[in-house]
Structure 1
Amino acid sequence: MNQNNQPNPKNDNRAQFTARFGCGFIFGIFFAFTLGFVADAQTFTALLGIIFVSAVICGLLSAAFGDKFWHWLRFWI
């Protein structure tokens, strides 16, 4: 038990990673629809693959770079 009533840094890091990855993952899904139609996916499986890969990549970039990722993305959009 934490005697100082201070938050546990390990849990804070995990929560921060989860929140950033989740937001990036959701953004990646929406972004994948644009990518999927631009790439002209021939099958539903290919479209799902594009959605999944885009979501994971955006999630990992968001978790790794945090606010820098969103500022960079805002600059390019």
Structure 2
Amino acid sequence: MSETHLNLRGLKCPLPALKTRKALQGVPSGGLLVVACTDPLAVIDIPALVNETGHSLEGQTEEAGALLFRIRKA
């Protein structure tokens, strides 16, 4: 399966969620999108987006001051 990385560090709400939604359109079905962002509201927004769109949140961690989300496209 393919893995795509998206660096959204420095962007503020609602841009991380909007750019994640757009990036998911280009990920093949079953592919993985790894999103890195620094916006603290992404902890709420990204999981809500994933739930709303029917994809799967495989992991959520913090690394080097950034939130990392691993999203598997449905």
What TM-score does the superposition give when structure 2 sets the normalisation length?
0.27
Give the structure with the larger helix fraction. 1
What TM-score does the superposition give when structure 1 sets the normalisation length?
0.26
Larger C-alpha radius of gyration, 1 or 2?
Answer: 1
